[in-house]
Amino acid sequence: MIFRITTPAVFLPAMGLSAAWLGFCSWRAMRLFRVVGIKSARDYDRVGKYRLPPEYARSDSYLAHQKRGRAGRAT
């Protein structure tokens, strides 16, 4: 018995598996992008901003700005 891709017995499980795989890959990519963003923001706060002119060296990364804002609202 030869299965053709257009038969529902093959097509529906294949679509379900591909949707699950796409969901997992998307979740993993979002997680990795977030980790890379956090690491680069910490590196900027630790090292990068001191290589800039003084008016920029006083700045914080967006992550530090968010943390400061959350800490201010919690108190």
d(CA 50, CA 30): 30
Q: Is the pLDDT of residue 2 over 80?
A: no
pTM of structure: 0.62
What's the pLDDT at 28? Answer: 98
pLDDT in tens, 18-68: 999 999 999 999 999 999 998 988 888 888 888 888 887 777 777 888 888
What's the pLDDT at 74? Answer: 57
d(CA 64, CA 45): 8
What's the pLDDT at 32? Answer: 97
Cα 38 to Cα 14, 57, 63, distances in angstroms? 36, 19, 7
Q: How many CA atoms lie within 13 A of 60 on its CB side?
A: 8
